[in-house]
Amino acid sequence: MKQRLALLEETLHREVPLTRTMGVRVEEHDGRELLFLADFAPNVNIHGTAFGGSLYSICAVVCWGLLHLKYEDEGLQAHSVLGDARISYRLPVRGDIQARCRLPEDGSYERFIESLRAGRRSRIELTAEIITERGVAVRFVGSYSAHT
């Protein structure tokens, strides 16, 4: 699994160079959830907290990364793009950034994959959260479109 996560991190840094500058690291994956870490220093704003644009970007790529891994699991050659998103900044982030995305448990992931297997464009809504010691600091909901 470590090698697979390292390969995903290399892919991110190559395909989305900003992730390298932001210090994004692929940390854990259990089949249903993906965890990214990112350095605080390159993502700080003038207030000494994490920059909102960085938090948005990290959330967007952790969701994309989870889909990327799931396509591999499913044996699909699929491509995803973020079509729409909304974000809620609840607490300031004052240290290294921890972002996670989980597959939805409402059956939408399974329908999404079925549609892709049938050769149709498909859409799924994924949620990412930035977690701090005080709880959920950021909640991101993105709508990802995919095709094979």
Query: DSSP letter at 58?
Result: H
What does the pLDDT average to over 115-120? 96
**pLDDT value at residue 1:** 75
What does the pLDDT average to over 134-138? 97
CATH code that applies to domain 2-147: 3.10.129.10
Q: What is the pLDDT of residues 1-52, one digit of tens each?
A: 799 999 999 999 999 999 999 999 999 999 999 999 999 999 999 999 999 9
| Cα dihedral 9, 40, 34, 17 sign | negative
Q: Which residues contact 132 (CB under 8 A, 6 or more apart)?
A: 91, 93, 94, 95, 98
Question: pTM of the predicted model, to two decimals?
Answer: 0.96
